[in-house]
Chain A
Amino acid sequence: MSSHPSSPLHRPTPHESAHRHVTGEALYVDDLPAPPRMLHAQVVTSPVASGRLVRVDSTRARALPGISAVLLAADIPGENNVGPVVKDEPVLAAETVEYLGQSVALVVGDSPAACRAGASLVEMELEPLQPVLSLEEAISAESFLGPPQAISQGEVDGALAFAPLRFSGEVRSGAQDHFYLETQVSLAVPEEGGALKVYCSTQHPSEVQHLVAHALGWGSHQVTVEVPRMGGGFGGKETQAAPFAVLASLAAVKLGRPVKLWLNRDQDMAQTGKRHPFLARFEAGFDAEGHLLGLDARLYSDGGWATDLSRAIMDRALFHLDNAYYVPACRFVGQVCRTNLPSNTAFRGFGGPQGMLVMEEVLNRAAERLGLDPAVVRARNFYADAPRNETPYGQLVTDNRLTRLRAELLESSDYASRRAQVDAWNRSATHLRRGIGFQPVKFGISFTTGFLNQAGALVVMYTDGSVQLNHGGTEMGQGLHTKMRVLCEHELGVCADRVRVMNTATDKVPNTSATAASSGADLNGQAVAEACAQLRERLRPVAAALLGVPAEEAGELSFHGNAVHARGQSVPMVRLAREAYLRQVPLSATGYYRTPGIHFDPRTGRGRPFHYFAYGAAVVEVELSGLTGEHRVTRVDILHDAGRSLVPNIDRGQVEGAFVQGLGWLTCEELLFNAQGKLLTHSPDTYKIPSLGDAPEDFRVQLLEQAPQDGVIHGSKAVGEPPFMLALGVVTALRHAVSSFGPSGREVKLGVPCTPEAVLRAVVAARVR
């Protein structure tokens, strides 16, 4: 079909809900009008990190006025498990408790206050056991979740043995709370005939549907899950919305009344998993020019008490240790550790940031030891032509945009002269020092669990030509609904006000994958386009007849502006749809897509796990104080490869938001537990995500131009996660500034998160001569 100038594709468009966001009309699960007779619920949690559950007594709680029920593990009719991959995650603790904050009981009552009172009366008798509360403890106790995972390439021992520069070290990265502004929430409403409707803030409605059915001992057909929109997800609602949805559902079915379970901020932060903290131990070999010769790295992640997605996250960490660089010889081994802490889970980047941080640290330390510009060391190690184009897992880097990105960004950001200015400034400065860093990113796009790479859509046209668009993806702010609506407008030639993007619901599009892995637009976009194309092609002969165009020339009809046009005439969609209906042409279509050609064999560690790679690069400049360690990002230049962007302003927003979220992980966000395993930083009073003043004051984001991607919807590329890792440039820039306090040729001792305290400690270490 011919693309018309009025198509909204590749042009700026306001977020599909922008108007409703700013007027307060946008409804989230907790905003839905309470159904009649709705009850509230509150989880009662374990007060210890590890223990045997001897007795739970809810007698006093149940006797309290306003309390309808107290659910315990024994009250679950079906499967007491919500483990998404490994069945090791009970909804309610039965015999043991595995972390401080684990759900033990659910109190259901007339009001949140009644539930609170009831919860305080649930008695628990516990025999405390010795908990495992750190990666080190887990490693020495061999407390692991599954066997090690590994990929390797070449002869790493030999490469290291003969490397002119050889060093070893450790890299740690911390946990990060998702801090979606909307906390976890589910509303379960019983329907007639033994059915249930669950409104849930989740990235994975299908999984919630299946897990609710399993817990009830029902068929999935009895459960419908609907997601209006989320107030942020970032991975935190991929698997971890399910336990709370299941609890609300169990109570709703038991009592025959609607039940809402909403977590307040402190409950949410204490109960739910975070980004995995990692500990890496490595040995690296370089030549004198900074070419990486070999890297032997062992990664440990803190999976928390249950497996959740930890093993897939470790896979992605291993797949991204290389980042943008060719590693001639390597051995990457990952081990997920089991601790008595909340079960860590998906978070934007999904292990990628933790893996990449290791490589970036290795390169920074090598550059510092060699006295080279880290940007130069990075460029020298870029993936290039064969044989320097093979990843450690055997996939070839065939669509390499690193060199182009680097060249364009270093020029537009004036990197070389600014680095010289920074060095000059530092030579005459006392307390205030500056640093600059260059950060490339290469990120693999696809679920690494191959079968998840599928999506569906259902497009419905009514007899007035208006359209309801359903697809399998969920809207969490990333603009997926906007992109899908734009695709629908483009394919059908209808205008925005004639397309309504419906809530994501399991009765419209079944068996969906989570909206995750940056894949929402790639996968659902293809399905939406396919469904729309089917409808369009069914309408085409009808339109041809109405316009008097011979059937064999129907291909020249143009669909745009709520009408179909040919030879200077047009028929409005409202008439065409009516005519199609009268001619008994079906006006609904389903679309389906699966990503072709991806595979990976975990036994050999080889395969082609990714459909393609997304790229980006950043230049980051910082200033810090040697008196207090306070610091500020003064300027950021980003050139990001979003392919031929479907909606450029949406993609720019993703790049900016991801960068600042990464900045938070690397600078101010710090989760601290006490010696009993209790989270100390469980609210924004103590857990600090970036605020407006932390965002770069001079923030220049450009999308790479003339960069369509083959085999992806309209040449676009996934954009949700890759730019998160551009923030790693902040660490490089801070290290540059810190290094100015000491002699050159020395490794900077700066760990993440780079809080003012961590920076000042590094400055003190650098000053020691």
Chain B
Amino acid sequence: MNALRFCLNDRWLEFSGIAPSTTLLRYLRDTQRLTGTKEGCAEGDCGACTVVVVEKDVEGKPSFRAVNSCLLLLPMLHGKRIYTVEALNSAEGLHPAQAALVEHAGSQCGYCTPGVVMSLFEAAYRTDLDEPWKLDAALCGNLCRCTGYRSIRDAAKQVAGSCPKDRFSDQLAGAAPGPMQLTYSAGPQRFVTPGSLGELWDVLEANPAARLVMGGTDLGLEITKRYAEPALLVSLEALEPLRGIREQPDGTAWLGAATFLTDVEAWSRGKLPPLERMLRYFGARQVKNRATVGGNLCTASPIGDLAPVLLALGARFVLASRAGERRVPAEEFFLAYRKTALGPREVLAAVEVPPLPPGARASSYKVSKRREMDISTVSAAFFVQLDDGGRVTAARLAYGGMAATPARSRSAERVLVGNPWGLETVTAAANELTRDFTPLTDHRGSAAYRLLVARNLLRGFHDETAGTPVPRLPHPHTATAHVGGGGA
């Protein structure tokens, strides 16, 4: 079969002949003439193109997920249900997400509005919006240049988590979307979604130049910004063995590489605060709804935000090939700038995060020009273990944005280990950072700023963990190391 099939606004469509690198946004606007969905940036940074896809959550149940249609390639949608803004209103009137925006005057020029509506639509059916910051997190992926957001926030407060009972909620009661195995080609381009690992190894052996893809939030940019036309993309999306989160008997968490970060974030809440904190500011909801553990790690970007957390927590990476699995420590995975330990025809299957030992202190930090939806200037995650006398017995200080790869500062760690955990030791350790890091000056920040922040975050970690060894982020908070307020 060489046909794509998906359900757009409750209508199943089947077609072939359209290039597999066609984005959903272009298909909606150019082919379907559904122009409610707008292009504001074609890089997943503005949210004007937001649509909603029905996606299986980690428990296998269907849920609505707001996604950036500008970064979604058509074959990624095979077998799925998609809703655009045009589907929402009916003879009965506006959907509550739409009505709330009208009521609170949440549209001015209206160009971002369909995207905002679709993010609100997702939020309307969520049952986990139990903390105020989650509204910000749900909507930070929708830039609006007109309103100043107060009205959008008020609309969100009204509609989020309201779980309306309607033809859409019926979708959530039904079965989850089925397997999405696919072999699709049009012209010189091919897109393959293997349905099993065996099939994956076959494809990789037959096509050494194949590119692996999951959510497409990084690779999509090559297509929308550099107009790449990849000859063969192999999607890992239908491979159940790479997906999900499992807590093992010894407390180790197994995070499947093909698990969406939204699901990892939901799981991490309260369980693994260093991961939870990083995922809060990892990116927009739309991006986390498609980005995966494996995608973020395998690009091996120096500013991939998961890496410092996994380095600090002492995670193991599970690498799989036809020959079986092997495990490498996190710090042995990142070899050089955008180069990993993955061999040919080998994929990242999962990461295993050991439980925090009793008495450990651990936290994570992300500093960027804008708090939400920005790339790290510096990110950091720290782990220290103390003995009964308050001496450091183990330390892992991991940074992003400081070197060509995410990396630990071994020099600073050496200063810590064996010494009493206190300001003096922390300051001495911070002074060692320059031995390990010579960061760049770029448009995100100067080298001097990066170094100073790297030092200060260690100080912040010390102060922040004095009371709570593994702190969550308070709400609201000003800084990634939200510590050191007055007593007034």
Residues in A lying within 8 Å of B, measured CB to CB: 14-15, 17-28, 30-31, 33, 113, 116, 178-183, 229-234, 264-266, 421, 424-434, 476-479, 623-632, 634, 649-650, 652-653, 656-661, 668, 670, 672, 680-681, 683-686, 688-697, 699, 701, 755-757, 760-761, 764
Contact = CB atoms under 8 A, between A and B. Distances in A.
Given A18-B105, A231-B38, A680-B443, A632 B110 contact: no
Contact of A479 (B101, B108, B148, B369): B108
A432 B460 CA distance: 11
9 contacts: A14-B102, A28-B38, A232-B146, A427-B488, A477-B146, A478-B108, A629-B449, A630-B479, A656-B150
Interface of B: 33-43, 45-46, 48, 84-86, 88-89, 94, 97-99, 101-102, 105, 107-114, 117, 136, 139-153, 225, 227, 367, 369-375, 377, 443-446, 449, 452-453, 456-457, 459-460, 463, 476-488
A736 to B, nearest CB: 14
Contacts of A33: 33
B153 to A, nearest CB: 7
A683 B43 contact: yes
A659 B148 contact: yes
Given A653-B148, A685-B375, 6 more contacts: A24-B35, A180-B145, A231-B112, A428-B486, A657-B146, A695-B148
> Chain B: interface secondary structure?
loop
Contacts of B377: 756-757
B108 A653 contact: yes
B110 A429 contact: no
Contact of B94 (A19, A182, A626): A19
Contacts, number: 293
A695 B484 contact: no
A650 to B, nearest CB: 7
Contacts of B145: 178-181, 232, 234, 657, 661, 689
Given A670-B369, A695-B153, A689 B148 contact: no
A23 B88 contact: yes
A15 B480 contact: no
Contacts of A421: 488
Given A17-B110, A479-B108, A693 B147 contact: no
A657 B108 contact: yes
Given A231-B38, A684-B41, A757-B445, A692 B136 contact: yes
A658 B148 contact: yes
A660 B108 CA distance: 14
B35 A15 contact: no
List 4 A-B pairs, minimum CB-CB distance, nearest first.
A24-B36, A477-B109, A431-B484, A231-B111
A628 B479 contact: yes
A181 B452 contact: no
Contact of A19 (B36, B102, B445): B102
A332 B89 CA distance: 56
Contacts of B40: 181-183, 265, 684
A24 B37 contact: yes
B110 A231 contact: yes
B476 A697 contact: yes
B481 A431 contact: yes
A181 B102 CA distance: 19
A269 to B, nearest CB: 10
Contacts of A697: 476
Contacts of B99: 22
B486 A429 contact: yes
Nearest to B132: A697
Contacts of A631: 478-479
A424 B488 contact: yes
Contacts of A630: 367, 371, 478-480
A630 B227 CA distance: 36
B476 A181 contact: no
Contacts of A477: 107-111, 146
Given A627-B457, A691-B370, A430 B38 contact: no
A232 to B, nearest CB: 4
Contacts of B453: 627-629, 760
A264 B42 contact: yes
B115 to A, nearest CB: 9
Nearest to B98: A22
Given A755-B369, A757-B446, A625 B110 contact: no
A182 B105 contact: no
A668 B443 CA distance: 12
B235 to A, nearest CB: 24
A14 B107 CA distance: 9
B394 to A, nearest CB: 24
A233 to B, nearest CB: 8
Given A265-B42, A431-B481, A21 B148 contact: no
A60 B97 CA distance: 51
B459 to A, nearest CB: 6
A434 B488 CA distance: 11
A22 B107 CA distance: 8
